[in-house]
Structure 1
């Protein structure tokens, strides 16, 4: 797959990916990983670096926006609207972990998952599902493609995407 762009996922592929995540050893965490990629467009490094304060409001509830700090790519922060499926998944994960601080996506040992671990999780899951040409970047490409197709409905342009 080296040198090839990551495949854009079809709606059925995303459903299969979520279903596989739900059948895994850590279903709530893994569903959040899938949705952060496909519904928020986060790359593996940002999924691994995401902390609870970035997704919670002042009252400790899951917010309507994800706040990516200025330390992200190209040094500019951004706000990403929270997809309803992602918000529900984050609420389930927060209820399971009772967390308001620290990493959103934790490893089995309790610390934050590394970006490489997120990439490896996607690789193993795509292989298990038989989705050739997919990588951890496929969710991000899917999100951006869907946003580009729908941006005119909100009065925006491709530059906004």
Structure 2
């Protein structure tokens, strides 16, 4: 069964637009930048962002690691748990968020609201809806960052000796077919491919 109206994949220019907007002094800019990067640079679902705990980002010494150890309970189901490696940009945003919180406990949620020490998936969905509306990014939703991450990973995986199976594991999909449905086709890539055949 194909995904019906899929969320749009963000271009590099649109990702920069969102980051510039979030860094331009918006309220809760540190937290909001982390939310956006968890979606676009780690491919997390809204549910996973809301369920993320500091303990999932810490190593055995209690320090921030370069990995997200997503548990099954934080993910979509029995086999949804996985390890996702963070790029330097996401690591820096997580470190900045970590340093901005005074009463930090490793069992606390990474993303909290003004009135609550945790958040819900719906709050994350609403955040993305308002963000993309404010920036006039039509067709984008809370799943756009995830689709962007998966599409980008799929296009680049062969350059590091990987395969779509690696992308599937990063995405937490049980089926490679599901991962393939997330990948956006590129007209430019198709043109270039035909030229080298």
TM-score, normalised via structure 1 length: 0.94
Counterpart position of 2:109: 103
Following superposition of structure 1 onto structure 2, how do residues 11-30 of structure 1 map, counting pairs within 5 Å?
A: 11-22=12-23, 23-30=25-32
Q: Distance in 2 between matches of 1:127 and 1:84?
A: 28
Counterpart position of 1:4: 5
Unaligned runs of 5+ in 2: 168-197
Given that 1:8 and 1:142 are in contact with CA atoms closer than 8 Å, whether structure 2 keeps it comes out as yes
1:90-148 CA-partner distances (Å, limit 9, x unpaired): 11111110424200000111321111011101000100100001000000000000110
Counterpart position of 1:45: 47
Q: Distance in 2 between matches of 1:156 and 1:44?
A: 27
Name the stretch that deviates more: 121-130 or 90-99. 90-99
Given that 1:20 and 1:125 are in contact with CA atoms closer than 8 Å, whether structure 2 keeps it comes out as no
- In the TM superposition, residue 59 of structure 1 has moved relative to its aligned partner by 2.5
Q: Distance in 1 between matches of 2:77 and 2:92?
A: 30
Counterpart position of 1:93: 97
Q: Distance in 2 between matches of 1:124 and 1:70?
A: 29
1:11-41 CA-partner distances (Å, limit 9, x unpaired): 1111111122223210110000000000000
Match of 1:56 among 55, 58, 77: 58
Match of 1:69 among 68, 71, 76: 71
Q: Distance in 1 between matches of 2:6 and 2:84?
A: 24
1:41-68 CA-partner distances (Å, limit 9, x unpaired): 0010000000000011123322111001
Q: Distance in 2 between matches of 1:48 and 1:58?
A: 23
User: How many residues were matched structurally?
Assistant: 160
Counterpart position of 1:112: 118
TM-score, normalised via structure 2 length: 0.77
Which structure has more relative contact order (CA 8 Å, sep 6+)? It is 1
RMSD: 1.5
